A and B are shown apart, each in its own frame.
Chain A
Amino acid sequence: MSANLLAIFYLISGILFILALRGLSSPETSRQGNLFGVIGMVIAIGVTILSIGNFSTGLLYLLIFLLIGGSLGAFIAFKIPMTAMPELVAGFHSLVGLAAVLVAISAFLNPEVFNLGVLGNIKIASLIEMSLGASIGAITFTGSIIAFLKLRGIMSGNPIIFIAQHYVNLFLGLSVAALIFYLCKTQLDSLFWLIIALSFLLGILLIIPIGGADMPVVISMLNSYSGWAAAGIGFTLENTALIITGALVGSSGAILSYIMCKGMNRSFFSVILGGFGGTDQKSSVKSKEQKPVKSGNADDAAFLMKNASSVIIVPGYGMAVAQAQHALKEMVDTLKKNDIKVSYAIHPVAGRMPGHMNVLLAEANVPYDEVFELEEINNDFAKADVAFVIGANDVTNPVAKTDPQSPIYGMPILDVEKCKSVLFVKRSLSPGYAGIDNDLFYKENTLMLFSDAKKMTEDISKALN
């Protein structure tokens, strides 16, 4: 196959990848989009194998390894519960990162097959591209592992902070840049290994100070990194499909990070610098502890909802933890039988990754046209009778609008307090991830339902029937 024809095929698969993302603009076209992505991938892999034209035993091994990895991936994809999507995606990012590192290493060790020169005398441009790809890939790899461990709960979600942390990171980053410079001058392979080692370390250090509540930003950011790493390798291999994909993924992750930061009203840098969102942080709670709280049981909640004409559900991470989405759907079905209008309100940063709540509700067979984003539904709270807050906390805290001293001041919130009455399912009065007390608990029209989210929704369903 001629190099030109090959390039055209890579271009086609690049375009198919663009169409794959384009399909996600609505749920109807999304499944077709995913198919485009698969076709693009098959083309890219197929033409690469054909272009090498080496049908020796090497190809057999290649197919075997492809099958091993593929069946492992398929197994994971079918087994994973939807509540575990954030850590799955983090885990997958780490694999892309490591694959980028491995490809860069083999290109460095065997530059002839990639047309990059000979070992010890690799083209300068290629050296820069492959070391950038390897370095970003390495950061993505270890960073995603840390994110995975935090999301999985193996590692505490609390930020890990030590003295001069940011200077250490800055120093490491500059060292990597300096090493790439010297690598180009000397072509010493020890420098290449050192770049990768320092990048591994940098990935760990970048993510450990970031708290659990900021994970939506982190996971989007690592998504973006994995794209830039792929693009770096794409330049090295002079491969259009990889360059296009890298750019797409890189900008996609960057946009998601931006949306998440905006959802929390925090600057990207303050998230990256970290230290926020630990559970041991306490702000000015002091006198508030003694304020009276109205608490109720499932029967009270059922009574309130039965007499309502419209109910808005506000799900949050707690719903995911309690796996309460199916129980919630059952409760809503009962409400609907009583001719009560029900809709769902989703805050941009609800959950641990962008769109996390939407997937869980979709899993529980909630039609997606009953689920609304913050801007779409926020005005409806004033008209609604009952807001049912399940597993969300900080995203409903009116303090974000009233108290300039509060760490979440300025964050867009769901105006739950404007509802005639608020039902708040929560295990205790403890503050949310931002470590601040929620004024909503003490409002006249709030009824606290202290229980596990799943158990409470089940009990309410029973009481409704």
Chain B
Amino acid sequence: MHISLAAERLFTIAGIPITNTLLVSWGIILLLFVIALLISKNLSSEKPKGLQNFIELIFEKLLDFMGSVTGSRKDSIKYFPLIATIFIFVVLSNLVEIIPGLGTIGIMEGEHGHETLVPFLRSSSADLNFTLAIAISAVLSIQIFGIAALGFFKYWKKFFCPPWEKPYFIGTFIGILELIAEVAKVISFSFRLFGNIFAGEVLLTVVLVLVPYLAPLPFLFLEIFVGFIQAVVFSMLTLVFIKVATAHH
């Protein structure tokens, strides 16, 4: 049994290492692209069918849920693309870990006697590059929405308050704290998701090695639940931060 914090490198293209998590990310993007194309091709306003109904249901529920945070449908629609993309991408990346054979099919690498398994696929949320990328995108978007809502100078005054203006040094100090908080958001976002999903993968691997039959089943259910909750937490926290960043004080 080999457990690695970093995603395993499979091969390199033009100097860029291609990891198993990157492959899974591409797979998810491709899948979503196909679904999006299928839906937009057969879109019907009067008589929605099958998949469109399902997507509409999810979107409507997500919009309602967002409405409970934003308090207005207009705002919910405005932030919907970002929040929905985070939710869908993260939830699919999380749920990929329960696919059988994901962490067990691969190639053996290494020296004689020290061979380790390099799985072809690995849940992309169990890679800090992925979680960090989404966290950075989310926090950057929060700043952009904040600037769009309040104006550049008013928004940045939150972080850079000159000590000669009210409330003087306290304002400057709070500004520094706010700046640290923004960086902390990136760290907490990425490590929370990575920690949960990576731990889940490790847990599943360990249980699978110890008791291969039946025992992993409850853990698989637990991982489905955790994967969904983490996606909700990530997307809703982003929405709450956007709401705070765009609020007029």
Q: Please indicate whether A and B come from the same complex rather than being unrelated chains.
A: no
Chain A: residues with CB nearer than 8 A to chain B? none
Chain B: residues with CB nearer than 8 A to chain A? none
